[in-house]
Amino acid sequence: MTLFKSLVSASVLACLISTSVAAEEINLFLIPSPSSTAIQSFIPEFERKTGITVNVTEVPYGEAHQKLLLSVQLHQGQYDIAQFDNSFLAAFGAAGVMAPLDDHLATSSVYDIGDFAVGQQDYGKYDGKTLGLTLSTEPMIQWYRTDIYAELGLKPATTWAEFESNAKAVKEAGKGDGAMFGWGPNASWWWMTLVWSFGGHLYDEQLRPTVNTAEAVTATRYFKEMLAYGPAGGISATGDDVANKFLSTNVGAMIQYSGYWGMALDPANSQHVGKIGTAKMPMGSVDVTHLAGWNIGIPSDARDPDAAWKFLEFVLGKPNARAYLLAGAAAIGRKSVTNDAELLAIHPYLPLLNIPASSRIERFPQLRVWPEMEKAILDALPPMLDGSTDIQGGLDALNEKLKPILAQEKAP
């Protein structure tokens, strides 16, 4: 707590003191995560300096988004600030759940939107309006065991062919499993990453599905082939299983979101502290960055949006960006953070958050029908991965199944 207090910006607090209103109260809607824990560590200091009382409700991920949607639709004014997964941005935008923040961003030198690269400034935008601030910046990156790679003379892969070659070398040398993807209930995360990287798309500009192209077939075939280098039972691995397996057993490399880095630092979660390196995700025919993460914003029915903005500005503004990361949150891709020498010593993956303009940023499809679309993908992948369905035939069937789903997106 002493370290946290020393990092809090005096200038931000002075500004907040002068504009605070006695007896104000705001209610936070958060989802259990390192980001939520970090946010809550700021509350005592914020309350003391501003006189604004902050209440917190945490709701599990599986229930959170539906609960927030219903609350706003009923105009309950229950929450002044809400955390949400970026994959729900389009659905929330279409339903009017979150209030635009652009007026605040245009005038806030404390938040300083210019501290983000242009591509990341758009991360919380829907239909041209910023409905959520970036709460975490989590690109899909390459993780590898530095000790195993050094012993075998391997280097982080720059291409998917090299990634497979490294996995094969680790497996054949008896050093452990070669590589890890999420082939199970969250397989869509990795599959669409590969489709994009191999030059494909999930749909075209007219919202017609394109998941059965040659690029998609090649990506799906690669996804299946990599099972040979994964652990036994890998075909059922969830997103969390991928990280846990890599951190607790001998696996040469994994492709995973950068937000799991906090686990890699914790001996309670990782048996390989100090032996894990990170690198840019291997490249296919195009340079793609699959970007994911949390957003946070102000619900459209918030009772005290001005006080809510003060809190968001205080916690997530540029002056306290270091404190936020040191409080245990997943990193936010501010340029001031990714170039901080002290933070780099603890979080060496931070430069990977500086996504170059040459890399095409892809994220979960910003579609209202994405939940239905993802379910169709997740239903289609297992038989292709276990070999009971031909890949081309399976993707052809999936493409047909997605047509009526995507047609709903075009409907008024």
Domain boundaries, the chain: 2-137+293-360, 139-291+367-410
**Residues 352-369: tens digit of each pLDDT:** 998 988 899 999 998 989
**Residues 108-156: tens digit of each pLDDT:** 999 999 999 887 899 999 999 999 999 999 999 999 999 999 999 999 9
Nearest of 261, 258, 259 to residue 272 by alpha carbon: 261
CB-neighbour burial class of residue 66 (10 A; exposed 0-12, middle 13-18, buried 19+): exposed
Q: Tally the residues of the chain.
A: 412
Task: Confirm whether 2-137+293-360 and 139-291+367-410 share one CATH topology.
Answer: yes
CATH architecture of 139-291+367-410: 3-Layer(aba) Sandwich (3.40)
- Total-model pTM: 0.86
The secondary element (H helix, E strand) that includes residue 47 is helix 43-50
User: In this structure, what token pair is assigned to residue 392?
Assistant: 């081309």
| DSSP string for 226-264 | GGGGS-TTGGG--HHHHHHHHHHS-BSEEEEEGGGHHHH
Query: pLDDT of the chain along its 412 residues, tens only?
Result: 444 344 444 444 444 444 444 469 999 999 999 999 999 999 999 999 999 999 999 999 989 999 999 999 999 999 999 999 999 999 999 999 999 999 999 999 999 999 998 878 999 999 999 999 999 999 999 999 999 999 999 999 999 999 999 999 999 999 999 999 999 999 999 999 999 999 999 999 999 999 999 999 999 999 999 999 999 999 999 999 999 999 999 999 999 999 999 888 889 989 999 999 999 999 999 999 999 999 999 999 999 999 999 999 999 999 999 999 999 898 999 999 998 999 999 999 999 998 988 899 999 998 989 999 999 999 999 999 999 999 999 999 999 999 999 999 987 6
Q: Are 210 and 302 in contact (CB under 8 A)?
A: no
The CATH code for residues 2-137+293-360 is 3.40.190.10
The dihedral over CA atoms of 44, 49, 52, 55, expressed in degrees to the nearest 10, equals -10
